[in-house]
Structure 1
Amino acid sequence: MESRAQRLAGPAILAVSALIVVLIGLAAGGGAAPLQLLDPGPLVRWGLPVIKLVVNLAAAGMVGSLVVALFALRAGERPFDTALDAASISAAIFTVASAGTAFFTFLNLLGAAPSASAEFGQQLGRFLVDTEAGRAWLLTTIAGAVLTVLTFAVRGWTSTLIVGILAAASLIPMATQGHSGEEANHNIAVTALALHIVAAAVWLGGLLLLVIIRPVVDRAEMVAIVSRYSSIALVAFIVVAVSGTVRAAVAILSPANLFSPYGALLLVKVVALIAMGILGASYRGRLISKLASSGAARVFWLLVTVEIVFMGIASGAAAALARTPPPVDTTLPEQQTPAQILTGTVLPPELTIDRWFTMWDVDLLWVFAVGFGLFFYLAGVRRLRKRGDRWPIYRTALWVFGLLLLLWVTSGPINAYQDYLFSLHMVGHMLLSMAIPLCLVAGAPVTLAARAIRKRDDGSRGGREWILWAVHTPFSRVVTHPAFASIMFIGSLWVFYYTDLFRWSLYDHIGHEWMVVHFLISGYLFVLSLIGIDPVPYRLPYPFRLLTLIAVMAMHAFFGIAIMMSSGMFAAEWFGSMGRTWGPTPLEDQYIGGGVAWSVGEIPTLILAITVAIQWSRSDDRMQRRRDRQVDRAGDTELEEYNERLAALARRDAARSR
């Protein structure tokens, strides 16, 4: 009984504190006030944010439990199974609450009471299928149902990893709802909210899991688990803080708007976030290593309880914020320009030379990717040097340059103008698939991780173990094979632009992010198969690598020429309808884009060819030096054997002549 009470204490404290805050926030902020037209009634007005709160808390329990299980626990043991049980229960609650949120959202939009009539059922069906909000919650509900079964059924490392990825992905549709989907800065608002939701789920759910597994873990083992969770929570805290600040800036616009009901709720959430950060820093720096002693353990779990209360306050404030009107109207105006209708933002000014260096359109996802990529890489280099190991400076320089170039492509002028100029879109594509991978592959991140990250000996998996596992999976052997990497690299180029995938990347922000990820990874795998320092199962001999490059260069050039010779436009209803009065005409701009693919895109390929030739030459030199050293040690056995064979032949001929 005591063990069960300890397990339920954390979720109960969280739920109660969150519920109190959301009710106070709705009353103070006006989020549950009656509507003048189509008022759905008090049950929907108060029930919708409450059930949405349940969705958020259940999502945290589901995702956070899986992440901590993967990075802090050992598969096959009771704490790991308990974590998956917690994830399964959370997924079931998540499913039911998501279905309830979909139903309440429909009632809120319809402004009518539930009915058993056929007309009501048809309207509900059309809402779930034909509207963006309906589809989002329908997908979320289906995903929750699938995850409920999977989290109950799986118990192994690989299956849990797949389920964890699916669980995190199931939260993405939620980010398109609420105020984010209606605002002028739609892309940055949705990205910030998606990152905020996932990171908060990992942070909150992981802390709850510590409370749940506490009765079944001894104190000595709990020190290691809490320490690992603390590292995860630190990363989550940074993502939550930055993404939350960006999301608030989109809705607030001015500090003066903080003195509004929306601003007051936002301040409550900020204060709770700061308090959680202070609590986390205090027990991370002082108490984790002392958890084995009873006195420190009592203080630690007291601080955890206080942190859960603050998490409940932040969760309740967030649920109330989602129903509270922002202090300023950030929605798109009724009278919109063609560019606003298509992209959600106004047409940027003409691209001049100075704007190549001053124009920014920040993509928060890639800001985090670049930031963490730089930090962890440089931290690994520092750790190697502190213990006296050498790491070539050119690898560090190329890695840093590649990530900075990635940031410039995804958040600079190319990102700002690629929706309006096909040529800029093609420049970004060439850099993502060729120039940036060339730098990143030369940085040898897998080799650095294998040398710098501490190895775990207790059966759990950390960053090093997961990276090495990924490198040696059958899937990795397939995707890193030179044939597959080459076909994927050049084949996806044609498939993407000559199918509706290109349109998807223009109309849907998720499609745009998929495009960036796909071309970055396909380019990375292709370069890795040719000149990579990191280990791969198989590489072609050097002559065949050069032949592969020649074939790829020819197909790449043919692709660019095909675009230049095209008489029709790619996505004409997009690029031809922007209302752009500056720069080349859409068809001329597409011709320029084909020229970019043909000419500029060949420069990294040429650098690849030169690098392969240099590596080939150095490989021959190393082989010759090894042979020379072997001769010095044991003599030239091959030459001696050859001379002995010649002597034997001479003796045989002499014997025959006699």
Structure 2
Amino acid sequence: MSPTEVRSSARPARTGLIPLLAVGVAVAALLAAGLVGGPAAGLVVVRVVTESAAVLTIGSLLLAAFLVPPQESGTLAADGYAALRTAAWASLVWTAGAVLSVPYTVADALGQPLSALLDLSVLFEVVDVVEQSRAWMVTAVIVVLLALGCRLVLSWGWTTVLFFVSVFALVPVAVTGHSSGGGSHDVATNSLLYHLVAAALWVGGLIALLAHGRRRGAHLGLAASRFSSIALVCWIVMAVSGVVNAYVRLPLDQLLTSEYGLLVLGKTAALLALGVFGYLQRAKGVKQVVATGSGRALVRLAGVEVLLMLATIGLAAALSRTPPPTEGRTLPSPVELRIGYDLAGEPTLYRILFDWRFDLVYGTTFLAAAVVYLLGVRRLRKRGDAWPVGRTIAWVLGCLTVVFATSSGLGRYSPAMFSVHMQAHMLLAMLAPILLVLGAPVTMALRALPVAGRGNPPGPREWVLALVHSPVAKVLTNPFVALAFFVGSFYGLYFSGLYDVALDHHWAHLAMNAHFLMAGYVFYWPVIGVDPAPNKLPPLGKLGLLFASLPFHAFFGVVLMSAQYVIGSDFYRKLSLPWVPSLLEDQRLGGGIAWAAGELPLLVVMVALLAQWARSDSRDAKRADRKADADGGADLAAYNEMLRRMAGKGGSVAVAEPKADTETGNAGPGAAKPKPGTGGAGGPGEG
């Protein structure tokens, strides 16, 4: 089917879903405005409309990318294109709401009416003061690009990219709300990120599924079954993250006595009702859809659930506008205010090993990655397939290294001291990626996940293959790009001023850790990775790429040790840690750690390379032996015949003897048998 045919066949019929959504958004907006009241009611109404458009955009892209299959050519099918077109319109509303949120947020923060900011010059003067207004501006830029992409792309690969962009567009506002300030803002921000992403996937995915059912789209049973699994995970994530976020913002004794606490209770009750109600309805609706292929039952059962979800969005918008209670809460210390928690004292070995503060983002992600990998190993062994123990050990150790670097005392002191930060940086960028690539996660996924089969819609295994062979993976694993990305990040982050700006923001710490891991992984993947890399290097090329990075690491450490200025000095001076009398000395210690940290990874990489080369030579030798056994040593005989012809033309040439089979002790084909008494194996002259 051509792109023109896809577009023409994807024109959805009138479904009656748009009036239902309009009513739901209106109810949610009125509910939120009534709960907040006063001048802020306008801001809350804009937030409800904007967030409704955001979840519709994300849900539609989720449907197009993962719930309905594309054509065999990789182009979206008619159902995927219809969802993509819905995302295009919803993203325009999202953009408009983000733009309107900028003046509304500024007016609310300054306590002035919106009319006072109609003069753009006044607005631009004060917009930089309010952090969340800047976040809305960033969101507007991202969503404009998203809307443009939804209008231009038609392939499944680029639709998947747009889906992840839409999820990322939630981040700027999420990390600048109530959760980003005060004590425990690291835990509050991390839990809120989980909460918002799960809510967007759940609510938006259900709306997109209903629209797909009303269109009588193809593969409805597959889409409903896949979404049912996603919805269950999202509900669990929302429940856990919501409890964690409320716990760090609200004392338990004020749960029933404060407006914030009552809104938390109302939202919790709505989520519990949605979880039970949605599970019962989808359990019945999915079975009927799979059995009959009709979406009427699913639409009839889930329509009320959508209205409840939109009402929950209204409660969430009111909750975001309502500040947490401050009665009975002590003011956070300067250290707690800047990094989210207090430090017990000097980072001794005991505190580094045992004073943990669990990182909800990286700790949860990599513990889950270890568990999923072990489940894959169990699946392989249950069906009789072997999997090297060394790969399992490497992967688990890599995951635990990330958890230790982000959640142990090392992760706890990392935001406050440059030397400790550099230790965590080296673990995340140089040791953890080595262990992770040796675990061969792609090979594990391809062997453990079921094959979709010819004529069936692509599943997770096909998605992994598409990711590995994608243009992005090929560019990132290009040797020159990987080297520049890996080495350049050291200089680009610390010597450009980015690190100074990032120190004051928790989201920037999350981004730095992600960058360290990704830069290390794409560098070591083509060097020692067991998984086939998009860009394959010869053995000497691997060794050359490894040694090419060493001088840059050493020079980076030397520059830090000899620098006469402090990187991030404003941030570290405001912390005023009594056990760091000299920030410059602490920075020079960090430089020494960076300089010396390259030795251990180099040793691990060299051992891994030697082991891989030895196994490769052994496999080549065994292949040659099997070929010789199969053809009677034809290659060796031909080689000896060539030598005899050369000897006949002049000169003496030694004829090659076949190698003895070291495993059996027998000579190869054509070998002369030992004469008695000459010391041949088993002969009379033995011993």
TM normalised by structure 1 equals: 0.88
Does 2:438 align with 1:442? yes
Amino acid of the structure 2 residue aligned with 1:442: L
1:393 aligns with 2:389: yes
Q: Distance in 2 between matches of 1:196 and 1:329?
A: 26
CA contact (8 A) 2:88 2:150 kept: yes
Where structure 2 has 5 or more consecutive residues not aligned to the other structure, the ranges are 1-11, 71-75, 652-687
- Note the C-alpha offset of 1:426: 0.9
Partner of 2:60: 65
Matched, 1:312 2:310: yes
Give the aligned length.
Answer: 635
Shift in Å at residue 531 of structure 1?
1.5
Alignment counterpart, residue 447 of structure 2, candidates 445, 451, 457: 451
1:183/1:55 CA distance change after superposition, 3 Å: farther
- Residues 581 and 375 from structure 1, CA distance in 2 versus in 1: closer, same or farther, beyond 3 angstroms? same
Equivalences for residues 199-210 of structure 1 within 5 A:
199-210=198-209
Q: Can you give the 5+ residue segments of structure 1 that lack an aligned partner in the other structure?
A: 33-41
Distance 2:539 2:204 in 1: 50
The reply to whether residue 8 of structure 1 matches residue 4 of structure 2 is: no
Match of 2:43 among 44, 48, 55: 48
Amino acid at match of 1:521: M
The answer for the alignment partner of 1:89 in structure 2 is 89
Return the offset for 1:129: 4.2
* Map of 1:536 onto structure 2: 533
Map of 1:357 onto structure 2: 353
Contact 2:343–2:413 (CA<8 Å) still a contact in 1? Answer: no
Residue 145 (1) aligns with residue 144 (2) = yes
Aligned counterparts of 1:48 and 1:458: Cα–Cα separation in 2:
50
Bigger Cα displacement from structure 2, 348-357 vs 400-409? 348-357
The 3 A distance-change label for structure 1 pair 214 and 10 is farther
Taking a change above 3 Å as real, the CA distance of residues 608 and 316 of structure 1, as seen in their structure-2 partners, is same
After superposition, what is the alpha-carbon deviation per residue over 1:173-215, rounded to whole angstroms, capped at 9, x for unaligned?
Answer: 2214442344333333233223322221111011001111212
Give 1:444 deviation, angstroms: 0.9
Matches within 5 A, 1:488-567: 488-567=485-564
In the superposition, relative to structure 1, how do residues 294 and 132 fare at CA in structure 2: closer, same or farther (>3 Å)?
A: same
Q: Are 1:347 and 1:580, in contact at CA under 8 Å, matched by a contact in 2?
A: no
Judged with a 3 Å threshold, the aligned counterparts in structure 2 of structure 1 residues 138 and 449 are, in CA distance, closer, same or farther, namely same
Compute the displacement of 1:571 (Å).
2.4
Q: Which range moves more in the overlay, 143-152 or 225-234? A: 143-152
Measured after TM superposition, the shift of residue 574 of structure 1 is: 3.0
Q: Secondary structure at the match of 1:354?
A: helix
1:4-37 CA-to-partner distances (Å, cap 9, x unmatched) read 243225524532552454255x1xxxx32xxxxx
Amino acid at match of 1:438: I
The AA in structure 1 aligned to 2:78 is: R
Partner of 1:592: 589
SS of the equivalent of 1:507 reads: coil
1:614 deviates by 1.7
Q: Which amino acid aligns with 1:378?
A: L
Letter in 2 for 1:527: Y
Cα distance in 2 for residues equivalent to 1:653 and 1:549: 48
Task: Specify whether residues 229 and 648 from structure 1 end up closer, same or farther in structure 2 by C-alpha distance, changes over 3 A only.
Answer: same
Partner of 2:326 in structure 1? Answer: 328
Q: State the partner residue of 1:478.
A: 475
Alpha-carbon distance in 1 for matches of 2:263, 2:549: 56
Contact 1:61 1:90 in 2 (8 A): yes
Indicate the percent of aligned positions where both proteins have the same amino acid. 36
Residues 292/369 of structure 1: CA separation in 2 closer, same or farther (3 Å cut): closer
Q: Which deviates the most, 54-63 or 573-582? A: 573-582
Q: Which amino acid aligns with 1:70?
A: A
* Amino acid corresponding to residue 442 of structure 2 in structure 1: V
Choose the corresponding residue for 1:625, options 622, 625, 631.
622
Q: CA deviation at 1:63?
A: 0.9
* Residues 131 and 458 (structure 1), Cα distance of their counterparts in 2 relative to 1, 3 Å cut: farther
- Residue 228 of structure 2 is matched in structure 1 by 230
Question: Aligned pair in 2 of structure 1 residues 453, 265: CA closer, same or farther (>3 Å)?
Answer: same
Q: CA deviation at 1:603?
A: 0.8
Query: Per-residue CA shift, 1:367-394, capped at 9, x if unaligned?
Result: 3422432343233333333333222233
Deviations 1:27-63 (A, max 9, x none): xxxx32xxxxxxxxx4x33222122111111110011
Deviation at 1:240, TM superposition (A): 2.0
Specify which of 244, 268, 273 is matched with residue 266 of structure 2: 268
Match of 2:415 among 400, 419, 422: 419
Matches of 2:18 and 2:472, distance apart in 1: 40
Bigger mean CA offset, 578-587 vs 401-410: 578-587
1:603 to 600, 604, 614: 600
Quote how far apart the aligned CAs of 1:429 are: 0.7
Structure with greater helix percent: 1
**Aligned counterparts of 1:518 and 1:254: Cα–Cα separation in 2:** 37
Residue 430 of structure 1 deviates from its aligned partner by: 0.8
Which residues of 2 match residues 244-255 of structure 1 at below 5 A? 244-255=242-253
Counterpart of 1:533 in 2: which secondary structure? coil
Q: Helix, strand or coil for the counterpart of 1:74?
A: coil
Structure 1 match to 2:657: none
The 1:332–1:107 alpha-carbon spacing in structure 2 relative to 1, beyond 3 Å, is farther
Q: Which has the larger radius of gyration?
A: 2
Distance 1:80 1:646, change over 3 A: closer
C-alpha distance in 2, partners of 1:247/1:509?
Answer: 15
| 8 Å Cα contact 1:184-1:330 kept in structure 2 | no
Letter in 2 for 1:224: L
8 Å CA contact 1:62, 1:88 repeated in 2: yes
SS in 2 for 1:322: helix
Does the 8 Å CA contact 1:385/1:391 hold for their aligned counterparts? yes
Q: What is the TM-score normalised by the length of structure 2?
A: 0.85
Q: What amino acid does structure 2 have at the position aligned with 1:63?
A: I
Structure 1 residue 291, shift from structure 2 partner: 2.0
Task: Tell me how far apart the structure 2 counterparts of residues 236 and 173 of structure 1 sit (CA, whole Å).
Answer: 21
Q: Aligned-pair RMSD on alpha carbons? A: 3.0
Distance 1:17 1:382 in 2: 49
Tell me the residue number matched to 1:431. 427
CA-CA distance at 1:336 after TM superposition: 5.7
Cα gap change, 1:105 to 1:458, in 2 (>3 Å): farther
Alignment partner of 2:127: what SS?
A: helix
1:375 and 1:222, CA in 2 relative to 1: closer, same or farther beyond 3 A?
Answer: farther
Instruction: Provide closer, same or farther for how the CA distance between residues 529 and 296 of structure 1 changes in structure 2, counting only shifts above 3 A.
Output: closer
C-alpha separation between the residues in 1 aligned to 2:43 and 2:193? 20
Q: Offset at 1:460? A: 4.7
Q: Distance in 2 between matches of 1:348 and 1:500?
A: 30
Hey, what does 1:403 align to over in structure 2?
399
Q: Does 1:102 align with 2:102?
A: yes
Cα separation, 1, equivalents of 2:403 and 2:280: 33
Decide whether aligned partners of structure 1 residues 280 and 452 sit closer, same or farther in structure 2, where only a CA change above 3 A counts.
Answer: farther
* Superposed displacement of residue 395, structure 1: 2.1
Relative distance call for 1:331 and 1:206 in structure 2 (3 A) is farther
The 1:130/1:282 distance shift into structure 2, 3 A limit, reads: same
In structure 2, relative to structure 1, the CA distance for the partners of 1:375 and 1:283 (3 Å cut) is: farther
Amino acid in structure 1 at the alignment position of 2:520: G
